[in-house]
Structure formats: C-alpha cells, structure tokens
Amino acid sequence: MKLIKDILYKVAIEKVIGSTDVVINELVFDSRKAGLNDIYVAIRGAKADGHDYIEQAAYAGALMIVCEEMPENIINGITYVQVKDTKKALAIIAANYYDNPSRKLQLVGVTGTNGKTTVSTLLYQLYLYAGYKVGLISTIDIKINETSYPTELTTPDPIIINKYLADMVSEGVQYCFMEVSSHGIAQKRVAGLEFAGGVFTNLSHDHLDYHETFAAYRDTKKEFFDSLSDNAFALTNLDDKNGGFMLQNTKAIKHTYALKRDAEFKAKILENHFEGLQLRIDDNEVWSKLVGSFNAYNLLAIYATTILLDMDKIEALKNISVLKSVEGRFQYHVSEKNCVVIVDYAHTPDALENVLHTIADIRTGNETVFTVVGCGGDRDPTKRPLMAKIAAKNSNKVILTSDNPRTEDPALIIEQMEEGVPAEMYAKVTSNVDRKQAIKNALQMAKPKDIILIAGKGHEKYQEINGKKNPFDDMAIAKELITLLNK
C-alpha cells in the first residue's frame, strides 16, 4: 500500500486540493486504464492532451489527479495535485511508487546516435557470461537475467522502467544496462532514476523531425550527463567532436575513451576482417568476433565501463573475447552461392556511412557491393537525400526501397532520397518500392564473393504501413530468397 504523500516525495508541487494521507492503487497516464483508487497523471502529448480526459479518469475511479492546470470541475473526494511538468512528476512518482529500485542496483545508461543497443546489450552479455545477475532495457527487449520481455520504445515510459527495475531487484540483479534515447530524455522518462554511470557513444544527424535542430538534439543528450550525481561516472568518446561537450558542467566523475586521440582508455585496431577484430587495449591484445572499426569503439566503451564498475582488467578482456554480435547490427550470412549478406540497423547517414566504410575496410576490392536501403516515414525527411548520396558514393550498386513508410507514400520517400544521388552516379542506382523484391533483385545480380548490405531495419521483425505492422525480417527473408534462388 502506498500513501499519496509518500509517492509525492521530491515532486515540485505548486498546489494541492484534497488529502494526501490516502492510500492509492495503481499509477496510470492513460485515462482508459484508470480504475478504482488509481493515480491519473495528465500528460500533454503530440497527438492528445491528457488534461482533456481528467473527468473520464475521475469517473473511472481515480482517487488522485496530477495535472499542470487545475480542471474547472473539482470533484469532492478526489485529490488534485498541480505541478509545473507532469512528465517529470510522473517519472519521480513512478520511482517512488516502486520504492526507487534504481538505487538498489548499479544502473548504467548508454546514449548517443549509434551504438546504444550494441554497447548496452553486449555489457549485459558480458556480465551474464561472467556469472552476475544482470538486467537490460534496450530497443530490442527487456531482460531480467535470461528471461526476455518485449518492448517497443528505445526508452520505455517511467512506469514500465521502474516496474522492471523493481522486478530486477526482486530477482537479485546487481547490474542493469539501459539505452537512453533523446526522446526518453526530452520526455523526462529517466527523471527520478539514479544512475551509477552514463556512457556517450557518438552524435550525428538523427531525430531532427522531433528536435528540429542538431543543437537541440545535442543539448538534449547533454541533459542526461548534467543530471548525473557526483557519485556516478560519465564516460565519453573523445574522438567524437561532441564528446568533450557532454562532460561540461556534469557533477559526475569524468572519464574518456578514444582510438585516435589521447584518452584515459585507448585501443588500436590490429586486424579487421569478416572473421572479427584484433585489438590492443591497455597494452593487452584481445580478439573479438565483432567486425568493423565502429565496433572497436563499442568494445572500448564496454571495456572502460567494466573497469569503472570495478571488474578486473584481464577478466574484462577475457569476457570481451566471447561476445557475439547483436541481432541486426552488422549481422552477416554467407550464402550457398558464397555472396555475403549483411543486415544492419543503419538508419542514419552516419551509421550507414560507418557500415559501408567497414565493408570497404575488410573487402578485397574485387567484389561488387550492393546496398538495399530506405528511409522511414513520418520521420526526419532531411536525412533522406543524404542517405541515398552516402549509399551511392560507397557502393557499386544501390537499390532504394521502402523502410517503414508508416503513413507516408513510400514512392514519395524514395523520390526524396533520389534527389541526393549525384548525377554521375545515376546509372548505379535503381528503385523498387517492394522491399522484398528489392532484396531479391540484389541477390539475383550478386555473384560469388559479392557483398549485399540490407540497411535500415536491422533487428525489426515487421514493416509498418499505415498503422499496421506486417511481419518482415530482413535476414529471414534474405535466407528464404537465397534458398529459392539456389533451387
């Protein structure tokens, strides 16, 4: 049982009507889910304002309403709490409701444009392999030890986060690694959490449909580091031009890693091919099954994090050597006809360029590189021509296709991508709205040793079209088509 006054601890309250010495039941921010003795928090969203549904929640049995503006109709027997920011209040209330589970384990947040999923998931893998009880909150799923739970958002809402953190505490979890997205920061989903540390991977063009400017996107990421306590660590990639910026004004203990610049944690790539990476880290050599220079950064961030969490250096390197690639992140398959199919989540210009540069680094030069790529609908349109230009410049042949068109016309998205293709490269670029057919076309053209990159969707098992998620798995479809073509 929870009293209203207890779960309001640390919430910046402007006004209260009613008693706070009352026991409440559940915590909700969707009025349709409100029930007897629940707390309803009115959130202003992009499509709807929760303040419009306060009465609906009250008549459904809600005992307490948290809002930014008091409603005109005050119902007797209900407690109304006015705050400046209901999103932040929801996060703090959720943490209090679940007894602040983030304080009872070591929670590490990973943020940046690319690498969040890989770094957080591989840290989870490493600690699980090392014998620790460990949790993960990522784009792909939520894990408590070896049990998985589905998730749809990179950073879930505060109620879900705290619920699963509380479950982790109940299961004896010692460490939890969590992706922290810019949306999650801006929407205060991680407010109220106590992090043992934060990791910055890199920053490039993404989510400008939401943040509008790169500076706003960058500053949102920085808010996460600004919020860390003086007991936490802040680990940043110094080779990224925004790495040092993330450390400005943070109270956390500052640490750095880099491949090119002088930093506290350094690594050098000794070998880089399809079989994996050979790295030198802290004067010790380590072999990894992961591929590409971008994964060298990910592995160095992972190593540094384990050291900052007091793992022995040799144990950390030994554990790094057994890590496996994350689903949909440079996931590759050598077909029977001996062409290489690579599936990668690269859905930003920087990520696509990184993957194609990685392919360039490890190919012999005699292969044809095919890139099958699209851009998501209802998302930042300014990156569409950039994606096509990068694909054209770094591939021998390009097929522009659908990603998740959502509510947009995929043909129009492709037209916007085509605008970025340099005139001298038109001949190498074709288009096909049907993603499965685009993959098939690439496979039909490919010869032995050729490389096919299928970019943009990675781990996703669906294609979203007009509000419906249709089953679609890039790697599964590629393997299915390979089998059919080889008959």
Amino acid 207: pLDDT: 45
Amino acid 153: pLDDT: 62
Question: In the chain, what's the furthest Cα-to-Cα distance?
Answer: 78
The rounded distance, in Å, linking the Cα atoms of 21 and 11 is 16
| Mean predicted lDDT score pLDDT of the chain | 93
Q: What is the pLDDT of residues 438-466, one digit of tens each?
A: 999 999 999 988 999 999 999 899 999 99
Q: What is the pLDDT of residues 43-64, one digit of tens each?
A: 998 789 999 999 999 999 999 9
Q: What is the pLDDT of residues 172-194, one digit of tens each?
A: 999 999 999 988 898 999 999 99
Amino acid 336: pLDDT: 66
User: How far, in Å, are 273, 318, 332 from residue 291 at the CA level?
Assistant: 7, 17, 10
Q: What is the pLDDT of residues 281-292, one digit of tens each?
A: 988 999 999 988
Q: What is the pLDDT of residues 296-331, one digit of tens each?
A: 999 999 999 999 999 999 999 999 999 998 888 889
Q: Could you give the dihedral angle defined by the CA atoms of residues 356, 362, 366 and 370, in that order, rounded to the nearest 10 degrees?
A: -30
SS3 for 21-88 is CCEECCEECCHHHCCCCCEEECCECCCCEHHHHHHHHHHCCCCEEEECCCCCCCCCCCEEEEECCHHH
The mean per-residue pLDDT over the stretch 250-269 comes to 97
Q: What is the pLDDT of residues 183-222, one digit of tens each?
A: 889 899 999 999 999 999 999 754 444 445 878 889 999 9
Percent of the chain topping pLDDT 70: 97
Query: pLDDT band at residue 364, thresholds of 50, 70 and 90?
Result: confident
Scanning 180-333, the segments in alpha helix (DSSP H) are 182-186, 208-211, 214-226, 243-247, 293-308, 313-320
Q: What is the pLDDT of residues 462-484, one digit of tens each?
A: 999 999 999 999 999 999 999 99
pLDDT at 409 over 90: yes
The rounded distance, in Å, linking the Cα atoms of 392 and 396 is 7
Query: pLDDT band at residue 361, thresholds of 50, 70 and 90?
Result: confident
Same fold, 2-97 and 331-485: no
Amino acid 163: pLDDT: 97
Amino acid 212: pLDDT: 55
| CATH superfamily of this structure's domain 101-320 | Mur-like, catalytic domain (3.40.1190.10)
Amino acid 332: pLDDT: 86
Pick the CATH number of 2-97 from 3.40.50.300, 3.40.1650.10, 3.40.1390.10, 3.40.50.2300: 3.40.1390.10
Tell me the CATH number for domain 331-485.
Answer: 3.90.190.20
Domain ranges of the chain: 2-97, 101-320, 331-485
